[in-house]
């Protein structure tokens, strides 16, 4: 077996194991740590696909920023098992039925899908290059890029305002 296949199998095993541990872990902090490991292994998959820029952005955005937000949310909510409200059985049953229906729909779509037949047209530009990607992002997609930054700023301000505790009046 080639080394790339071995690396792929190891990364896949780590990704699947940490994804399941994220879901089934009872401690929310452990779940967040397993999710970070899962994100890093997915970045390894991007490196195997020779997409270095996407791997670096994935590590910075998901493993860095998003997971920090998750950890702050977990700490703000102060999740303890003693205070956790247990869901009724009908809610669990509804979640299981919804999950099974979505899985059946996705499997049906996958089975009935047909490959795209036609000629693949290339422009000749290398979008792996950060220079070309920056030009495209800041020229052709400048307005959506700015809208995304404004949306993230508003979400950050809203999070700060929601987490701010009001002073008790005496």
Degrees (nearest 5) of the Cα angle 67, 72, 73?
Answer: 95
Per-residue pLDDT tens digits for 27-47: 878 888 898 899 999 999 999
- Pair (79, 16) in one structural domain: yes
Per-residue pLDDT tens digits for 87-133: 678 888 888 899 899 989 989 988 888 877 777 777 776 666 677 77
Look at the chain and report how many structural domains it folds into. 2
pTM: 0.57
Q: What is the CATH number of the domain that holds 61?
A: 1.20.120.1200
- Pair (1, 80) in one structural domain: yes
Nearest C-alpha neighbor of 162 from the set 154, 170, 31, 81: 154
Greatest mean pLDDT range, 23-37, 58-72, 128-142, 152-166:
23-37
Host domain of residue 60: 1-111
- Pair (100, 131) in one structural domain: no
Percentage of the chain beyond pLDDT 70 is: 85
Q: Is the pLDDT of residue 165 over 80?
A: no
Long-range pairs, 156-161, Cβ under 8 A, ≥24: 159/69
Please report how the helices 130-139 and 142-163 are oriented relative to each other, as an axis angle in degrees rounded to 10: 80
């Amino acid at each position: 077996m080639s080394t790339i296949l071995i690396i792929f199998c190891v990364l896949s095993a780590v990704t699947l194991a940490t994804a399941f541990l994220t879901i089934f872990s009872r401690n929310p902090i452990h779940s967040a740590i397993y999710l970070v490991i899962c994100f890093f292994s997915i970045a390894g998959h991007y490196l195997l696909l020779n997409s270095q820029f996407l791997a670096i952005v994935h590590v910075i955005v998901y493993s860095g920023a998003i997971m920090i937000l998750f950890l702050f949310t977990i700490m703000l909510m102060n999740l303890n098992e003693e205070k956790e409200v247990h869901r009724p059985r009908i809610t669990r049953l509804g979640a299981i039925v919804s999950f099974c229906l979505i899985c059946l729909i996705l499997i049906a779509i996958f089975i009935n899908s047909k490959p795209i037949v036609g000629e693949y047209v290339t422009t000749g530009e290398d979008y792996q290059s950060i220079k070309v990607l920056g030009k495209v992002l800041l020229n052709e997609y400048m307005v959506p890029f700015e809208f995304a930054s404004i949306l993230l700023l508003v979400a950050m301000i809203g999070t700060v305002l929601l987490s701010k505790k009001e002073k008790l009046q005496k």
